[in-house]
Amino acid sequence: MDDNATKLAEAVDQLALQMVMIEPDDLMALGSLLRDFESIEKISLESDFGPIVAVSGALKKLVEKAILNELKDVQKGFDLLGRGIELLQKYLSEPNESQSPADRDSFWKEMESLEGIGKPAGFEAAPATESSSRETFNLTEDGQVYTDFISEAMEHLEAIELSIISLEQSPHDKEHINTVFRAFHTIKGVSGFLNLQKINKFSHAVETLLDEARNDRLAITNETIDFILEAVDLLKNMISDLKGPGRPDPSRFDIESHLAKIKRLLEGISLDEPIAGKQPLEGIVSTKVAVSGEDLSTTPKQAVDALREQRRGDSTGSGATVKVDTQKLDNLIDMVGELVIAQSLVQQNPVFSTINDQKLSRDISQLKRITTELQKTSMSLRMIPVRQTFQKMVRVVRDLCSKSGKKAELVLSGEETEIDRGMVDALYDPLVHMMRNAVDHGIEAPAKRIERGKAETGRVDLRAYQKGGHIVIEIEDDGQGLDRARILHKAREKGLVSNDNGLGEHQIDNLIFEPGFSTAEKVTDVSGRGVGMDVVKQAFEKLKGKVEIFSTEGAGCRFVMLVPLTLAIVDGIQVRVGEEQYIIPAVFIKETLRPAQEDIVKIHNKEEVVRVRNSLLPIVRLHNLFRVVPQKKNPWEALIVVAECNGQQKGLMIDDLIGKQEVVIKNLGETLESVKGLSGATILGDGRVGLILDVHGVFEIATAA
Amino acid sequence: MADGHIRELVAFKIDAEEFAVDIASVQEINRAVELTRIPNAPSHVQGVMNLRGKIIPVVDLRRLLGFQARAADKQSRIMVIEIGGLVAGFLVDSVSEVVRLPESAVEAPPTFAGALDADYVGGVGKVDDRLLILLNLQKMFLAAGGIAPD
């Protein structure tokens, strides 16, 4: 027996072993089975073991059917598989003995009758039963595979966006092309496997395009990049359609025009050239260049390869991370918080201080260290780097540039800075808006830049870093800076300012945050959404952060945004109102003062105001709002907390300041969410519940009253 | 339901009246703790408490059922009750025992005159010579501003 025969015998024995443990729905195992049959087929083909070629070929098809869930009778199919392997074993162990023909014949007969796989050793791939009308995917049965596909495909598409932009910068970098290619390949494979034909067809077409590029038969031009990004968007839409309610409706998406574009790209025709005249549209659609029919049927092998690749990607990419239900995570954090309180209650117990035992106090200190460390670690579980959000901005800037004809490069730094998980989503929209602002209003058109002696390509910096208990996000462009004369003009026109003589530069700059202010002279696709920078400011205030502008006319503009490290913790000032205690988030507090009696004025005998330096601020008597009996009746006996929110300032009257404290914000619970003036609650050091003041809400109530 | 079916109930007192709720809905029974008042909340919401790191509202059943309010004492208990994913505490004067009651001993609620709001009553159970008023928790929840399960 030669080497190949030994190899085969080993492989077949291995297969027999696998067969014992295989489950009909274990795709991974079926995939590996398929691969084994393939190699057996190959080896036997090399060595010209005719019957083995035929049997393993047939078995391979059987496995393919099993993977595609097309077996007419799963149990019988698997029985056949077992018998086929036995047959192979017999062929190999006694090659010269004449086979018992009965065995063999009945095997083929059943193959033929059961699954329609005939004896001839042909190599037609997947059975040609895949009619194009069959988009009947059973959502309930395959739910898990399906949702996995959606989330993974989305990740792949995001990865494509990132690589494609690197590719644009170095169009000859094979690594980037390959990354993009692989991502489309995976999507194609799995979508084919899940029988999502439209997605499959389209991603296949894009893959073909990339394959050409990979093999140097197609140059990567800006047009190609644009197109691929378009394709990414289309796929994103098609895929997110899948997870929407009701049945996905692939017919909503027009892939034909995109397929036509691919064809044109492949033929080296610019997309800008009018289609009519060159080639009738119908002709393009019906010709089978980029997407010929036989290419399209994803063979099970491709699907399995894709799945395999995906799995490989998972294990290398996300290394040592675990996906955990956020609910569980929050519970854990809650319990750790309780542990810290319990620990400190024990430590502060008066009995404890009377015990003079060194070991006990050592152990208690150790316990304290551990709980503190545990708390830190558990809080850090909520944190993720801003990288993903930042990287999405690269695409945003690119799109903005191509729409406005400007040139700008986005330079990221500090992407590893970590931020609260809940904050990430909240940051996205305001950041997009700021990018728009930078490209649309900041960066000049290329010609103008050259004229001004600047580099043709503008530069936008997006930075993140931690500073104290805050994350600072900076957006800096080297554009024209804010045009203060124009801002003033606009503001006057819109009635935002009446008398602008006293306005300092900083105040003028801040006018752009006023609702209803927008200086774009023409409504563009880029900036013309009817919303201005006031939305950005509000978004940051909601996050208990703030935005500042530093602009130098002609040289650029820098926005500095400050957000708390986490939404879960707030820096608060604990105050006393009557018998009760409240926590006011420190970010809203400008100062705290005890006014002189002559600084308190009653306007129209009704509204109380306090004079703070040059301004008069309305006084909000918190005790009235919260219906408690105050300890101090008059503002000059009590304290005034000057709070600022939405550009307004008010003086909140309290009885006393208790202290400054970082507190963990908790939900008041659905039943009490509607209570106005409170934004949440926290658990104080003694285990009791403390209420957190909602400055927005308090201002609203006070204004309405 | 068949007559042989036994209901297990937690019985508690407010003044001299005895009430009961289904034991399956009671998560735990705690001594009354110091609550934090929620300003401008409905009057029967006594406040919120810290239940091992979670903040839950506490309803004063005296107020909800129209009894006169009084301060909690050593006998007072907070029954933590969960319905449809919502958790709330209910402050009662005292919790007496777990009662096993055959279905046949439960009668439809009579129409009450006076103090007790008939809306919250799901039936009346007879144990020896005692009368247990079975409370309709879902309606109580609704009244407490909570979201009643479907």
pLDDT digits (tens, 9 = 90+) for A134-153: 344 444 445 666 777 777 78
Residues of B in contact with A700 (CB under 8 A): none
Residue A3 CA: distances (Å) to CA of A10, A39, A564, B81: 11, 14, 68, 73
| pLDDT of res. A124 | 35
CB contact under 8 A, A688 and B50: yes
Cα–Cα dist A172/A176, whole Å: 8
- CB contact under 8 Å between B54 and A334, yes or no, is yes
Q: Is residue A250 part of a domain?
A: yes
pLDDT above 90 (res B80): yes
Chain A residues inside the 8 Å CB shell of B31: none
Beta-bridge mates of residue B101 = B7
Better-predicted residue by pLDDT, B122 or B97: B97
A677·B40 Cβ contact <8 A: yes
What does the angle CA A139 – CA A142 – CA A145 come to, to the nearest 5 degrees?
115
> Is residue A646 in some structural domain?
yes
Question: What share of residues in chain B are helix, strand, coil (percent, to 5)?
Answer: 15, 50, 35
Question: Which of A334, A343, A583, A671 to mutate to test binding with chain B, by most B CBs within 10 Å of its CB?
Answer: A671
B58 burial level (CB within 10 Å; 0-12, 13-18, 19+): buried
Residue that wins the pLDDT comparison between A616 and A242: A616
Q: Does B89 touch chain A (CB under 8 A)?
A: no
Do A175 and A67 lie in a common domain? no
- Give A571's pLDDT tier (boundaries 50, 70, 90): confident
Q: Residue A333 in contact with residue A382, Cβ under 8 Å?
A: yes
d(CA A552, CA A411): 20
Confidence of residue B126 (pLDDT cuts 50, 70, 90): confident
Which residues from A are below 8 Å from B87, CB to CB? 669
Both structure tokens of A145: 């595979």
Confidence of residue A301 (pLDDT cuts 50, 70, 90): low
Chain-chain contact of A689 with B146 (C-beta, under 8 angstroms): no
Q: Do residues B89 and B70 touch, judged by C-beta distance below 8 A?
A: no
* A658 shares its domain with A523: no
Task: Answer yes or no: is pLDDT of A303 > 80.
Answer: no
Per-residue confidence (pLDDT) for residue A292, from 0 to 100 = 40
Set of chain B residues whose Cβ sits within 8 Å of the Cβ of A704: none
Closest residue in chain A to residue B33, using alpha carbons only: A688
Tell me, what amino acid is at A37?
Answer: F
- Total beta-carbon pairs less than 8 A apart between chain A and chain B: 79
Residue A328 reports pLDDT greater than 90: no
B82 pLDDT more than 90: no
Indicate the burial class of A47 (C-beta count within 10 angstroms; 0-12, 13-18, 19 or more). Answer: middle
Instruction: Give the pLDDT of residue A522.
Output: 43
Beta carbons of B53 and A671 less than 8 Å apart? no
Whether B114 has a pLDDT exceeding 50, the answer reads no
Angle at alpha carbon of residue A441, lines to A436 and A443, rounded to 5°: 95
Has residue A390 got a pLDDT over 80? yes
Residue numbers of B between 12 and 41 with CB closer than 8 Å to A:
34-41
Report the pLDDT averaged over residues B12-18: 90
Cα separation values, A96 from A49, A91, A93, A419, Å: 12, 8, 9, 71
In the predicted structure, residue B29 carries a pLDDT above the cut 90: yes
pLDDT band, residue A653 (cuts 50/70/90): very high
* Interface mutation target, options A331, A336, A576, A672, chain B, most CBs of B under 10 Å: A672
Mean pLDDT of A475-488: 87
Q: Is residue A342 domain-shared with residue A399, that is, in the same domain?
A: no
The answer to whether residue A422 scores a pLDDT higher than 90 is no
Do residues A361 and A490 share a domain?
Answer: no
What is the nearest CA distance from A628 to chain B, expressed in angstroms? 9
In a mutational test of the A interface, the residue from B35, B36, B140 whose CB has the highest number of chain A CBs within 10 Å is B36
Cα torsion angle, A630, A635, A640, A646, sign: positive
What integer pLDDT is reported at residue A13 of this predicted model? 76
Q: How many residues does chain B have?
A: 150
Establish if A183 belongs to a structural domain.
yes
Q: Which residues of A160-181 are buried (b: 16+ CB within 10 A; e: fewer)?
A: bbbbbbebbeeeeeeebbebbb
- Backbone torsion region of residue A692, taken as left when φ is above 0, otherwise alpha when ψ lies between -120 and 50, otherwise beta: beta
CB contact under 8 A, A689 and B50: yes
Contact A665, A692 (CB under 8 A): yes
Residue with tokens 């091992």: B52
pLDDT given for residue A1 in this prediction: 46
Name the closest residue on chain A to residue B48, using Cα atoms.
Answer: A689
Q: Which residues of B touch A666 (CB under 8 A)?
A: 54-55
H or E segment and range at residue A682: strand A678-683
- For tokens 């202290």, the residue is A659
Domain final position from A96, A115, A134: A115
A431/A438 Cα distance (integer angstroms): 10
pLDDT digits (tens, 9 = 90+) for A441-475: 888 999 999 998 888 899 999 999 988 777 899 99
The answer to whether residues A556 and A581 belong to one domain is no
Closest CA to B32 of B81, B87, B80, B91: B91
| Closest residue in A to B142 (Cα–Cα) | A671
Q: Report whether pLDDT(A246) > 90.
A: no
The pLDDT of residue A459: 92
Question: Residues A548, A625: one domain?
Answer: no
Contact B145 A666 (CB under 8 A): no
For A682-705, b/e burial (b = at least 16 CB within 10 A) is: bbbeebbbbbbbbbbbbbeebeee
Extents of the domains making up chain B: 6-143
Query: What DSSP character marks residue B120?
Result: G
The pLDDT assigned to A227 comes to 83
Confidence label for A324 from pLDDT (cuts 50, 70 and 90): confident
How many CA atoms lie within 13 Å of A119's alpha carbon, on the beta-carbon side? 9
Is the model's pLDDT at B19 over the cut of 60? yes
pLDDT over 90 at A654, yes or no: yes
CB B97 within 8 A of CB B39: no
Predicted local distance difference test score (pLDDT) of residue A285: 41
* Closest CA of chain A from B146, distance in Å: 5
Q: Does B135 touch chain A (CB under 8 A)?
A: no
Q: What percent of chain A has pLDDT over 90?
A: 10
Among A540, A548, A526, smallest CA distance to A474 is for A548
CA A525 to chain centre: 24
Residue A508 has pLDDT above 90, yes or no: no
pLDDT of residue A703: 81
Distance CA A320, CA A171 (A): 33
Q: Are A645 and A588 in contact (CB under 8 A)?
A: yes
Question: Would you list the DSSP string of A366-403?
Answer: HHHHHHHHHHHHHHHTTEEESHHHHHHHHHHHHHHHHH
Residue of A nearest to B146 (CA): A671
CATH code, domain with A150: 1.20.120.160
Question: What's the full length of chain A, in residues?
Answer: 705
Chain B, nearest residue to A623 by Cα: B39
Q: What is the pLDDT of residues A521-540, one digit of tens each?
A: 444 444 444 456 777 888 88
Closest CA to A682 of A325, A326, A341: A341
High-pLDDT (> 90) share of chain B, %: 19
Evaluate if residue A76 carries a pLDDT over 60: yes
Q: Which of A60-69, A283-292, B96-105 has the highest mean pLDDT?
A: B96-105
Domain count, chain A: 5
| Contacts with A667 from chain B: Cβ below 8 Å | 55
pLDDT at A606: 77
Contact with chain A for residue B85, Cβ under 8 A: no
A292 and A191, same domain (yes or no):
yes
Asked if B149 reaches chain A (Cβ–Cβ under 8 Å), the answer is no
d(CA A57, CA A37): 7
- Judged by average pLDDT, the poorest of A79-88, A136-145, A232-241 is A136-145
Strand partners, A534: none
Query: Residue A118 has which token pair?
Result: 């005939």
pLDDT at position A122 is 39
Concatenating the DSSP letter of every residue in A462-512 gives EEEEEETTEEEEEEEE-S----HHHHHHHHHHTTS-S--TT--HHHHHHGG
Last residue of a domain, one of A115, A134, A167: A115
Interface of A to B at Cβ within 8 Å reads 334-335, 337-338, 580, 625-628, 666-672, 674-678, 681, 683, 687-691
Helix ranges (DSSP H) in A194-221: 197-214
The domain containing residue A530 runs over which residues?
384-564
Residue A615 confidence class, pLDDT cut points 50, 70, 90 = confident
- Tokens, residue A117: 């796989």
Which residues from B are below 8 Å from A678, CB to CB? 38-39
pLDDT tens-digit readout, A258-299: 888 888 877 777 665 554 444 444 444 443 344 444 444 444
The count of C-alpha atoms lying within 13 angstroms of the C-alpha of A645, restricted to the half-sphere facing its C-beta, is 25
Look at A465-474, A494-503, A693-702 and tell me which has the smallest mean pLDDT. Answer: A494-503
- Is residue A127 situated within a structural domain? no
Shortest CA distance from B59: residue in chain A: A671
Which residues on A lie below 8 Å from B45 (Cβ)? 671-672
Specify whether the CB–CB gap between A157 and A183 falls below 8 A: yes
Are both A424 and A550 inside the same structural domain? yes
Instruction: Kindly report, residue by residue over A171-205, the tens digit of the pLDDT.
Output: 777 777 888 887 888 788 777 767 777 888 888 88
Q: Residue A585 phi/psi, 5° resolution? A: -55, 130
Over residues B1-6, the mean pLDDT reads: 63
Q: Is residue A366 located within the same domain as residue A490? A: no
CATH number of residue A63's parent domain: 1.20.120
Q: pLDDT digits over A354-371, tens only?
A: 888 889 888 988 998 998
Nearest to A334 among B53, B144, B147 (CB): B53
On chain A, the residues whose CB falls within 8 A of the CB of B38 are 668, 672, 675, 678, 691
pLDDT, residue B11, reads 93
Are the beta carbons of A549 and A559 closer than 8 angstroms?
A: yes
pLDDT score, position A132: 37
Closest partner residue to A681 (CB to CB) among B41, B48, B52 is B48
Closest CA–CA distance from residue A323 to any residue of chain B (Å): 24
Mean per-residue pLDDT over chain B, rounded: 81
What's the CA dihedral at A583, A586, A591, A593 to 10 degrees? 20
CATH of domain B6-143: 2.40.50.180
Q: Closest chain A residue to B34 measured between Cα atoms?
A: A688
Contact A670 B37 (CB under 8 A): no
Q: Across the interface, which of B39, B40, B57 has its CB nearest the CB of A669? A: B57
Residue in chain B closest to A674 (alpha carbons) equals B41
For residue A639, the surrounding DSSP H or E stretch is strand A639-645
Q: How far is CA B55 from CA A375, A599, A684, B61, in A?
A: 19, 41, 12, 19
Measured between CA atoms, how close is B6 to chain A, in angstroms? 33
The CA-atom distances, in angstroms, between A632 and each of A635, A699, A702 are: 8, 22, 20
Does residue A582 fall inside a structural domain? yes
Whether residues A676 and B49 touch (CB distance < 8 A) is answered with: no
Distance CA A525, CA A403 (A): 8
Kindly determine whether residue A672 and residue B38, on different chains, have CB atoms separated by under 8 Å. Answer: yes
Between residues A418 and A704, the one the model is more confident about: A418
Checking if the pLDDT of A601 tops 80, the result is yes
Predicted confidence (pLDDT) per residue in A33-50, tens digit: 777 778 777 777 777 777
Asked if residues B126 and B9 have their Cβ atoms less than 8 Å apart, the reply is no
Q: Report residue A21's pLDDT band, with 50, 70 and 90 as the boundaries.
A: low
Q: Does one domain contain both A494 and A608?
A: no
User: Taking CA atoms, what residue in A is nearest to B87?
Assistant: A669
pLDDT, residue A594, reads 92
pLDDT score, position A341: 80
Q: Is the pLDDT of residue A350 over 70?
A: yes
